[in-house]
């Protein structure tokens, strides 16, 4: 993959965290969002506890004559949230808002239907559980941009740590929403932006349905545990990814068993 620093839209700019891995792809995308004439910016997912990265994000904000007005988290996984407290202090003690109270700084959370207006922005909040129970998606209508966190990635597929039924419902909801508002771009938590949101979401939905059918077939052939399913269905996948695959398979087995 090529360097994706500077990727974004008129109002959203990406600063890539230096934490590439099989799970984080090129690294975590930290999004800086601001109205063109605003003195305040919103930072989404400061990323891991990496002071050099956090300082770079702050320098990027300040280089445009702005200050950080607020930090938002798409979810609480450490590669997105671990640096949030340090970043908030570096930025002068700003608030951190998240769905999960454990990841907040300040009294305000984030929930379905909230609208963030810091710095004149309009960011609308949707709860999209599945990748994690606390996963959120942000809609930036001025740019037609959907910030999906890890619910939809720039390439590859995401791990489902929550309930598969919730994740499938979230994908279906995002597909309908993207069509209704004519979304122009997906800005993911990892990987490059996606300039055809409908095609990306269709791919994700089709992939999940295909995997679910493969898991059903593996169970019918005698697989009983998530590990046994992974050995059959993910035989061509790098074994370093098998533990993550097991988590996704377990969610599929639970789904098939009505849990």
Q: What are phi and psi of 90, to 5 degrees?
A: -60, -35
Query: Rg of the Cα trace of the chain?
Result: 18
Burial category of 198 from C-beta neighbours within 10 Å (exposed 0-12, middle 13-18, buried 19 and up): middle
Q: Are 138 and 124 in contact (CB under 8 A)?
A: yes
Q: Catalytic site residue 150?
A: no
Q: Which residues contact 55 (CB under 8 A, 6 or more apart)?
A: 90
What tokens appear for 187 in the block?
């800005």
Q: Are 255 and 165 in contact (CB under 8 A)?
A: yes
Given the residues 50, 79, 114, 166, the one annotated as active site: 79
CA 131 to chain CA mean position, Å: 8
**CA 45, CA 188: separation in Å to the nearest integer?**
11
Q: Which residues contact 192 (CB under 8 A, 6 or more apart)?
A: 1, 4, 7, 154, 155
Q: Which of 132, 71, 78 is nearest to 105 (CA)?
A: 71
Q: Are 185 and 147 in contact (CB under 8 A)?
A: no
Q: How many residues does the chain have?
A: 259
| Catalytic residue annotation | 79
């Amino acid at each position: 993959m090529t360097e994706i620093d500077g990727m974004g839209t008129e109002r959203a700019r990406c600063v890539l965290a230096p934490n590439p891995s099989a799970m984080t792809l090129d690294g975590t995308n930290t999004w800086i969002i601001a109205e063109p004439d605003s003195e305040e910016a919103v930072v989404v997912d400061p990323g891991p506890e990496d002071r050099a990265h956090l300082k770079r994000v702050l320098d990027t904000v300040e280089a445009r004559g702005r200050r950080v007005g607020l930090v938002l988290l798409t979810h609480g996984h450490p590669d997105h949230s671990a640096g949030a407290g340090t970043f908030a202090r570096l930025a002068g003690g700003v608030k951190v808002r998240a769905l999960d109270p454990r990841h907040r700084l300040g009294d305000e959370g984030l929930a379905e239907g909230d609208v963030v207006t810091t710095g004149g922005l309009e960011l609308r909040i949707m709860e999209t559980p599945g990748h994690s129970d606390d996963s959120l998606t942000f809609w930036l209508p001025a740019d037609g941009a959907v910030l999906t966190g890890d619910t939809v990635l720039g390439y590859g597929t995401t791990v489902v740590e929550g309930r598969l039924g919730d994740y499938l419902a979230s994908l279906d909801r995002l597909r309908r929403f993207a069509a209704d508002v004519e979304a122009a771009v997906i800005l993911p938590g990892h990987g490059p932006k996606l300039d055809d949101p409908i095609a990306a979401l269709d791919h994700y939905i089709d992939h999940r349905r295909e995997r679910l059918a493969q898991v059903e077939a593996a169970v019918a052939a005698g697989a009983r545990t998530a590990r046994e399913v992974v050995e059959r269905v993910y035989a061509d996948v790098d074994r370093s990814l098998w533990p993550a695959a097991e988590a996704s398979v377990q969610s599929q087995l639970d789904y098939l068993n009505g849990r």
